[in-house]
Structure 1
């Protein structure tokens, strides 16, 4: 099974996907005139505007849910793996993916807002790639294909990576405990205890729906992210004299990588996309759930989340690891040999170990404890985000079948994700990461190709950006969006909203000629 997983992973993550991700980000950056730079101030302002409603969540809550998916094991174990297999230069390519990917995140999240709809059963806002592929392209089969791929990826392939990281950090702190045989696997008792705690808390939250998920992530994600970055900054400043050298190492190694130029790009892009999810098609699900006045607003907020994930949290991890020297570099050499070895050869690269060792070298046991706690919150909130993505796509597939099919589908996906959390927690880290990469790659292929086709067919996101910037320049206090004005069809939520806005204006000014 492991050999098959690695084979499929190698096919999906061929150089074609790596350059497709970079090329799409560069393309959208140019077409939007680098919106990720020009409107950076507006991104920050929008974080704290807008309120939740009975049907939708606030922009900040949507950001938190999206960050819950973005800020996870990719930021702690993923960065370590990128350095361990691709050398320090892989960090540079993670930065490149984040900078270019912010424009991709804007495009996919704006599309999710334009083509979102109300759930026919719950009334909640639903949207994402499956919805905009059906409505913008008129290709329902492609929407169904993406929905199935995302349920497989977020319901089966990806939760195990996060769960494995949580339990790896937990057992590095507490020890494995007494070895027990569980379904043919030798598992420590402490790992089982940690797994039981995760499953209980996970069940309580996911059975509460998007409102409960949003409320939990709204507080947990910012708290842990800020705390993690602060401790990382302390380590950086305690090694202040090394910062220029570390920057120099990352930049120089990006093009003459210790592990090979191809390895640096490959691992940097792969782990960058896994971490910030730009182009992967996961962020749009949370973006669609937000209550906003204009589709571009949530697109800009989601673009900012890519910066938070990679340029802040991932960079913090990289500087901790590199400044303390707590890493090895394993290239394509025979197993057991290293290009660079600073720590024990038995240290698992695909785990939080490098980060824990870096933190412990400065803060002692307290640092190890903090990383274990950070890993728990980062990874746990990511599992919640994965569940929500799977839920939205189950709702997409069952929305016209009926309430019974919807309830059954949602119940089954809850059980599925809990089973896969247990499976991932009990299996080896390398194997589970490979499965996770298959899930990321499947979604990325389908989503990036789809949004590029939408761009060449209709260009709705560029139209939205121009419209939003025009209203921003005019200084309006209440933003509006009329899909018919721009020839955009199949946008039921915004069509209904614009009609109500027109009726509100007419009621306030019954003599207005436009509304007689």
Structure 2
């Protein structure tokens, strides 16, 4: 099984996918005149814009839901494996992927907002919706939905659970089976509570865990302050191939940096925009900008924190695929979470393993919650109008079973399954958004025009010639019908539902 999965990943994660993602990110950056720089001020401001409603969540909750999915083991174990196989330069290419990916994330999130729908009293949206309504390719939309249900409902949860169980066992000597049972119980309480509970859970926990992790990084860097200049020099020279030790593996640095960058922030994969699509805002570009900022938080802050701790303390090995070790500071230690644990332990004795284990627990648990929400959204799309309450319950029990199974199984197969899931979604989504780029660019220009005129941007798809944006068309009709009515909000939900 493991050999077969590795063979599939060799096809899915060929160098073609790496360069496609870099190329698409560069294209969007140029086409939008580097919106990820020009609109930084708006990004920060819009995070707290939009208070949500009975049908949608707030901008901040949408950001938190997205980060709860993005911030996972890719930010800890993923960075460690990138360094282990690509050298310190891989971290630089993760930064490049984040910078370019911020523009890609804007495009896919904006499209998710444009083509979102109201379903069973709640807002839903994502790749399947914009593929159907924008590209008019129902079959591809259904395929993406099915792939997502399999990937985020069956493949990826095992990897998250496995990493948590291993970290907890290392730090506290608690058996993986016990950790698995406890995770199943806690996850069950959350996912049976619906999207509102998911949003509230993410809103509270995500900022707490991210800030705590970065604070520990500052402590590690403070103690190893003298190593910081050398660390940055090593990252840059390794990335461009001028370092004496790592100059010959620049290809591995690019491949593993981009690969783990994609795994971490998933910009262009389409898997992280379901929460963003559920946000109620006055203009799609608003949430698009918020999600661009989420890529920065995920990679430039949290992934960098992990990389800095590992590199500044020297707690890493580098063994490129098919080569002898170039660095062997940790003997035969397997790449992954233990690199970070040893980095923290080297400064805060007795704290490293427990702290990283708890960080992994929080990161992975919120990711599991977000996985369920994405899988549920795609399942609902694939089933259409079929009565599916009992089918959704089956999905919940499958995810809970996979979480327990992943807790007690080997990590190697879990990583292979996770990579396969992410890569499969990536190929389908990246080309879909390319063919819908024109609509996203129109929305951005409309947002910028209204801002320049001193207005709070409001979206009207008819004015831009965008078809298929059914939810927004109803919103516009409602606004015209109740123009000047002081009791607009009182009538709104009834109007939209009708």
Give the TM-score normalised by structure 1: 0.92
Q: Note the alpha carbon deviations across 1:448-480, whole angstroms, 9 max, x for none.
A: 01111122xxx111111111111112222x431
Corresponding residue for residue 135 of structure 1 = 133
Corresponding residue for residue 505 of structure 1 = 483
1:420 aligns with 2:402: yes
Counterparts of 1:322 and 1:480, CA distance in 2: 46
Tell me, what secondary structure is at the counterpart of 2:103?
helix
Tell me, what secondary structure is at the counterpart of 2:483?
helix
Give the total of aligned pairs.
482
What does residue range 107-118 of structure 1 map to in structure 2 within 5 Å?
107-118=107-118
Q: Note the alpha carbon deviations across 1:115-145, whole angstroms, 9 max, x for none.
A: 00011xx210010000000000111011001
1:411 aligns with 2:393: yes
Kept in 2: contact 1:259–1:329 (CA 8 A):
no
Kept in 2: contact 1:259–1:331 (CA 8 A):
no
Corresponding residue for residue 203 of structure 1 = 188
Q: Note the alpha carbon deviations across 1:283-305, whole angstroms, 9 max, x for none.
A: 22111100111000000000000
**Gap change, CA 1:315 and 1:259, over 3 Å in 2:** farther
1:475 aligns with 2:454: yes
1:53 aligns with 2:40: no
Q: Note the alpha carbon deviations across 1:330-352, whole angstroms, 9 max, x for none.
A: 12346xx522100131x221x31
Counterparts of 1:331 and 1:83, CA distance in 2: 9
Tell me, what secondary structure is at the counterpart of 1:118?
strand
Kept in 1: contact 2:172–2:354 (CA 8 A):
no
Unaligned segments of structure 2, at least 5 residues? 487-498
Kept in 2: contact 1:87–1:258 (CA 8 A):
no
Corresponding residue for residue 305 of structure 1 = 294
Kept in 1: contact 2:25–2:101 (CA 8 A):
yes
Counterparts of 2:208 and 2:167, CA distance in 1: 19
**Gap change, CA 1:400 and 1:259, over 3 Å in 2:** farther
1:340 to 327, 331, 352: 327
Give the TM-score normalised by structure 2: 0.95
Counterparts of 1:7 and 1:199, CA distance in 2: 31
1:191 aligns with 2:169: no
Corresponding residue for residue 149 of structure 2 = 151
Bigger shift: residues 167-176 or 290-299: 167-176
User: Cα distance, 1:94 vs. partner?
Assistant: 0.4
Counterparts of 2:230 and 2:349, CA distance in 1: 25
User: Cα distance, 1:425 vs. partner?
Assistant: 1.6
What does residue range 254-293 of structure 1 map to in structure 2 within 5 Å?
254-256=239-241, 257=246, 260-293=249-282
Corresponding residue for residue 42 of structure 1 = 42
Counterparts of 1:413 and 1:31, CA distance in 2: 40
Corresponding residue for residue 166 of structure 2 = 168
1:325 aligns with 2:321: no
Corresponding residue for residue 180 of structure 1 = none
Counterparts of 2:412 and 2:233, CA distance in 1: 30
Unaligned segments of structure 1, at least 5 residues? 177-189, 509-516
Counterparts of 2:374 and 2:9, CA distance in 1: 22
Counterparts of 1:412 and 1:489, CA distance in 2: 35
**Gap change, CA 1:157 and 1:479, over 3 Å in 2:** same
Corresponding residue for residue 484 of structure 1 = 462
**Gap change, CA 1:225 and 1:259, over 3 Å in 2:** farther
Q: Note the alpha carbon deviations across 1:184-215, whole angstroms, 9 max, x for none.
A: xxxxxx11111111000000000111111111
1:315 aligns with 2:301: no
Tell me, what secondary structure is at the counterpart of 1:283?
coil
What does residue range 68-87 of structure 1 map to in structure 2 within 5 Å?
68-87=68-87
Corresponding residue for residue 2 of structure 2 = 2
Bigger shift: residues 43-52 or 499-508: 499-508
Counterparts of 2:482 and 2:231, CA distance in 1: 58
Corresponding residue for residue 179 of structure 1 = none
Kept in 2: contact 1:87–1:259 (CA 8 A):
no
Q: Note the alpha carbon deviations across 1:262-293, whole angstroms, 9 max, x for none.
A: 21111111110000110010122111100111
User: Cα distance, 1:258 vs. partner?
Assistant: 5.6
Kept in 2: contact 1:85–1:259 (CA 8 A):
no
